[in-house]
Amino acid sequence: MRSKPITYTGWGRVAIATSDVYRPERQTALAALVADRPGPALGGLRSYGDACLNDEGTAIDMTRLDRVQSFDPETGRITVEGGVRLGDLSRWLAPRGWLPAVMPGTGFATVGGAIANDVHGKNHHNAGSFGQHVLEMDVITPKGAKTTGPDKLPELFKATVGGMGQTGVIARATLQLKAVKGDVMMVTERRVANWDEHIALLDASQATYTVGWIDATATGASLGRGILEEAETGAGLVPPAKKARRVPFDAPGFALSPPVVRLFNATYWRRVPARGRTVVKPITDFFFPLDKIHDWNRLYGKDGFHQFQCVVPLSEADALREMLEKIAKAGSASPLAVLKRMGPGRGGMMSFPMEGYTLAVDMPAAAAPTPGVMGELMAMTRMANGRIYLAKDALSDGEFIRAMYPDHAKWARIIAKHDPDGVMQTDLIRRLGLRSFS
Amino acid sequence: MSETWLILGASSAMGRALARSVSEGGASVLLAGRDLDDLRTHAADCTVRGAPIAEVIAFDARDPSGFNKIVTRAKATDGTLNIACFVGSMPPQEAIDADPGLIDGTVTDSFSGPAQLIQMLAPILEDRGSGTVVGVGSVAGDRGRIGNYVYGAAKAGFHTYLSGLRNRLTRAGAHVVTVKPGFVDTAMTWGIEGMFLVAPPEKVAQDILRAVKKRRNVIYTPFFWRYIMLIIRHIPEAIFKKMSI
């Protein structure tokens, strides 16, 4: 099979790599490839930093292996190839009364990527992470194809879920879907005045899907203000989703400069009436609000952006407040900041979630304060016994990360068994030294 | 009324895209090709997407002994039978220069094999007085070029065959669409240098279905290849023979 030299980046466009990319269209070709020219799998390239990069190595583009192999409308079990995109899957499933149990923020992510990063969604507090709904999967390891599940080679399963592609390529997966009433969402939005109210509302929320949008530029008494979104699936009629638009070029630096962002955020906050409102949206608009703007990452200009995302235990909410304060003071935040309460659910040894609060904030890479602020935030996360999300990371330190993931050494030992030559390593794994277990 | 698409070369990226599209529209599909495991995977996908019937049939352009079985299965369909052929092989020209024996296989895969099978299937369309044959040729068949003239010659032969078949089937109320794709993003073109304006296979499938609906005779996909090839065809041979495009 021919490869193609491709230069590509993660979603944040801060790290770049050139790889010989193979793109198998059949399972037999995939298996042969992992045996002859192994390399890590690429999906939708929606992780932000260098998790999906393998500079000067080979990589396997999975997007042509995107077929549904079986679907049982009675039980909601579906078997798909690893390269199927979650957006395609949900557009197709929702009218049939089912949805992937966990939906991340973009529908361009693939099932393989969702497992490898053990992604979470707005229902993490009650549904857990993506990997917890995987019933079985076929992983093509450098030592051969293996079928694994929670009760079948459980060690391999726990190392693959959230395992950043290090056990091998996820060729197929069987998922337990979640029954839904229809393909619309009933969304209740309410203004939140400040941090304490935000935390209190998140704690009290009984909704299936709950997420807080935070104005990370607000300071003082308004620190932590935002909009709380609570949603349930429903049936009904909504206007069809608007056609996607594209960002045609890299935006100039002032597009997301602090005054523009402050103005945008204030307007966005006031968009929701003071007494709140309930609106009906197509499911894709609710789960994947930004997918309608293709290549929105170009809004950050050619230098790209970092997303800081951490989770801290429930008892450390104050530490998170301090982090937000630091971000707001630095003034380099973007319009996209999210606060959410997570449940304890996590599917693998290297999974990100833990019971607590998670904060995600985008920062333009070119802004002067960004690297310094990111460094401080990471140190604060560690102090608070929290964790940094590998899918978002491009800057953190290996020793920090290994300390934040208590099962790391055990995981690295299992990986060494399945990939002794380290052929599945990515730039992230090398940067953080995640294969060492001493 | 029920409709069935027999897709020859159904494991190709374009064949897959077409199979998915017509399945979503509620048609049945018969997926013919060599990699039966892969075809079964794709048949499952088609079923899930809405095809009432999605079956796999073994088809090897170089083995006519299997053609009768395909004809029998095609006869057993109800309603309109459409045929789409995405079969072909394009060995690098240097490989052919080194072993001219490869010409036979290239012509069989890209022209004579599928033509023989389509010839056997044509009476079904005539009897039913409906149905469309979609023959996928190539812009390479419009003029012989140094880079791939054996493949081009085979596809040129296929184009001429399709034109004659159209002449025949139109009398019975059936139709033939000749499709000339430019560069399409498939396993065949992945990693080849000098590709430009590469079209996704889904776009080609859309163009094909539109052409079938509108009963177009010859289409280029994406459409601008018509103009590129118009120019290429009109370069005087005295000049063209010195060019390497």
State pLDDT tens for residues B198-208: 999 999 999 99
- Residue A244's pLDDT band, with cuts at 50, 70 and 90, is confident
Joined together, the tokens standing for residue A380 give: 């604060």
Say if residue A173 is in the same domain as residue A194: no
Per-residue model confidence as pLDDT tens for chain B (245 residues): 699 999 999 999 999 999 999 999 999 999 999 999 999 999 999 999 999 999 999 999 999 999 999 999 999 999 999 999 999 999 988 999 999 999 999 999 999 999 999 999 999 999 999 999 999 999 999 999 998 999 999 999 999 999 999 999 999 999 999 999 999 999 988 998 888 889 999 999 999 999 999 999 999 999 999 999 999 999 999 999 999 87
Q: What is the DSSP string of B168-210?
A: HHGGGT-EEEEEEE-SB-STTTTT-TT--SPBPHHHHHHHHHH
Residues A22-73 have pLDDT tens digits of 999 999 999 999 999 999 999 999 999 999 999 999 999 999 999 999 999 9
- Cα torsion B55, B58, B60, B63: sign: negative
The CATH code belonging to domain B3-240 is 3.40.50.720
Q: How many angstroms separate the CA atoms of B118 and B136, rounded?
A: 13
- H-run or E-run covering A138: strand A134-141
Say if residue A207 is in the same domain as residue A307: yes
Report yes or no on A73 lying in a domain. Answer: yes
Shortest CA distance from B12: residue in chain A: A25
| Domain at A94, CATH number | 3.30.465.10
Share of residues in chain A with pLDDT > 70 (%): 99
Say if residue A188 is in the same domain as residue A319: yes
Q: How far is A69 from chain B (nearest CA, A)?
A: 5
Say if residue A155 is in the same domain as residue A201: no
Under an 8 Å CB criterion, which residues of B touch A?
11, 13, 16, 35, 37-38, 41-42, 44-45, 48-49, 186-187, 190-192
Say if residue A191 is in the same domain as residue A339: yes
Q: How many angstroms separate the CA atoms of A333 and A42, rounded?
A: 29
Q: How many angstroms separate the CA atoms of B178 and A346, rounded?
A: 54
In degrees, rounded to 5, the angle at the alpha carbon of residue A354 between the alpha carbons of residues A351 and A359 is 100
Q: How many angstroms separate the CA atoms of A135 and A112, rounded?
A: 14
Report yes or no on A26 lying in a domain. Answer: no
Say if residue A355 is in the same domain as residue A377: yes
Residue A351 reports pLDDT greater than 70: yes
Say if residue A255 is in the same domain as residue A353: yes
Judged by CB atoms closer than 8 Å, whether chains meet at A28 and B49 is answered as: no
pLDDT at residue A214, as a whole number: 94
Shortest CA distance from A66: residue in chain B: B45
pLDDT at residue B1, as a whole number: 66
Edge-first strand order for the sheet with A58-61 is A4-9, A16-22, A58-61, A41-42
Shortest CA distance from A21: residue in chain B: B191
Average the pLDDT over A362-388 and give the result.
93
Say if residue A331 is in the same domain as residue A190: yes
Shortest CA distance from B194: residue in chain A: A4
**A87: helix, strand or coil:** helix
Report yes or no on A281 lying in a domain. Answer: yes
When CB atoms are compared, the residue of B16, B44, B191 closest to A4 is: B191
Q: At what angle do helices B113-128 and B67-75 cross, to 10 degrees?
A: 20
Size of interface A-B (CB pairs under 8 A): 44
Residue A345 reports pLDDT greater than 70: yes
| Domain at A346, CATH number | 3.40.462.10
**B217: helix, strand or coil:** coil
Say if residue A241 is in the same domain as residue A354: yes
pLDDT at residue A331, as a whole number: 83
Pick from A1, A18, A26, A93 the residue to mutate for testing the B interface (most B CBs within 10 Å).
Answer: A26
**B7: helix, strand or coil:** strand
Tell me the residues of chain A between 82 and 101 that have a Cβ less than 8 Å away from chain B: 92
pLDDT at residue A57, as a whole number: 97
Q: How far is A392 from chain B (nearest CA, A)?
A: 30
Q: How many angstroms separate the CA atoms of B209 and B22, rounded?
A: 8
Say if residue A196 is in the same domain as residue A167: no
Q: How many angstroms separate the CA atoms of A106 and A180, rounded?
A: 19
Report yes or no on A431 lying in a domain. Answer: no
User: Which of A180, A211, A228 is the last residue before a domain boundary?
Assistant: A180
Category of A17 on φ-ψ map: left (φ > 0), alpha (ψ -120 to 50) or beta: beta
Say if residue A120 is in the same domain as residue A209: no
Q: Which residue has the higher pLDDT, A309 or A248?
A: A309
Say if residue A138 is in the same domain as residue A211: no
Number of domains comprising chain A: 2
Judged by CB atoms closer than 8 Å, whether chains meet at B41 and A69 is answered as: yes
Judged by CB atoms closer than 8 Å, whether chains meet at A67 and B35 is answered as: no
Average the pLDDT over A197-221 and give the result.
95
Shortest CA distance from A64: residue in chain B: B13
pLDDT, mean over chain A = 94
Judged by CB atoms closer than 8 Å, whether chains meet at A64 and B192 is answered as: no
Residues A143-179 have pLDDT tens digits of 999 999 999 999 999 999 999 999 999 999 999 999 9
pLDDT at residue B162, as a whole number: 98
Domain map of chain B by residue range?
A: 3-240
Shortest CA distance from B43: residue in chain A: A69
Q: State whether residue A27 sits within 8 Å of chain B by CB.
A: yes
Q: State whether residue A2 sits within 8 Å of chain B by CB.
A: yes
Residue A242 reports pLDDT greater than 80: no
Chain B residues within an 8 Å CB radius of A23: 187, 190
Report yes or no on A142 lying in a domain. Answer: yes
pLDDT at residue B77, as a whole number: 96
Q: How far is A347 from chain B (nearest CA, A)?
A: 28
When CB atoms are compared, the residue of B11, B35, B45 closest to A69 is: B45
Residues A398-424 have pLDDT tens digits of 999 999 999 999 999 999 999 999 999
Judged by CB atoms closer than 8 Å, whether chains meet at A68 and B49 is answered as: yes
Domain that holds residue A145: 68-180
Average the pLDDT over A337-362 and give the result.
97
